[in-house]
Amino acid sequence: MPDIKIITHQLGPIETNCYFAINQETGEVLIIDPASNADFILEKCEELKIKPKAILLTHGHYDHTGAVGELKEKLNLPVYAGTDEKVILSEPAINGTFLFTSESMRRGSKPVEADMWLLDNEMFEPAGFPVRVISTPGHTAGGVCYYIAEKNVLFSGDVLFADSFGRTDLPTGNSKQLVNSIINRLFILPEETKVYPGHGDSTTIGKEKNNNPIYRYM
| Cα distances (Å, whole numbers) of residue 46 to 43, 49, 51, 132 | 5, 5, 8, 28
Dist CA 19 CA 36 (whole Å): 12
Q: Which residues make Cβ contacts (< 8 Å) with residue 111, sequence separation at least 6?
A: 89, 90, 91, 92
Position 102 pLDDT exceeds 80: no
The CATH H-level superfamily of 4-217 is Ribonuclease Z/Hydroxyacylglutathione hydrolase-like (3.60.15.10)
Greater model confidence, 148 or 93 = 148
Q: Are 113 and 89 in contact (CB under 8 A)?
A: yes
Q: Name the phi and psi angles at 113, rounded to 5.
A: -115, 115
Confidence category of residue 13, pLDDT binned at 50, 70, 90: confident
Residue 185 has what DSSP assignment? Answer: I
Position 26 pLDDT exceeds 60: yes
Q: Provide the pLDDT for residue 100.
A: 54
| Residues 171-191 as b or e (16 or more Cβ within 10 Å = b) | ebbeeebbbebbbebbbebee
| Cα distances (Å, whole numbers) of residue 138 to 21, 48, 158, 161 | 25, 36, 10, 14
pTM over 0.85: yes
Q: Provide the pLDDT for residue 93.
A: 66
Stretch 175-181: mean pLDDT: 97
Confidence category of residue 216, pLDDT binned at 50, 70, 90: confident
Domain-wise residue ranges, the chain:
4-217
Position 111 pLDDT exceeds 90: no
pLDDT, tens digit (0-9, with 9 covering 90-100), for 114-137: 999 999 999 999 999 999 999 999
Residue 120 has what DSSP assignment? Answer: T
Percent with pLDDT over 70 in the chain: 91
Q: Are 116 and 86 in contact (CB under 8 A)?
A: no
pLDDT, tens digit (0-9, with 9 covering 90-100), for 142-162: 999 999 999 999 999 999 999
Q: Provide the pLDDT for residue 53.
A: 98
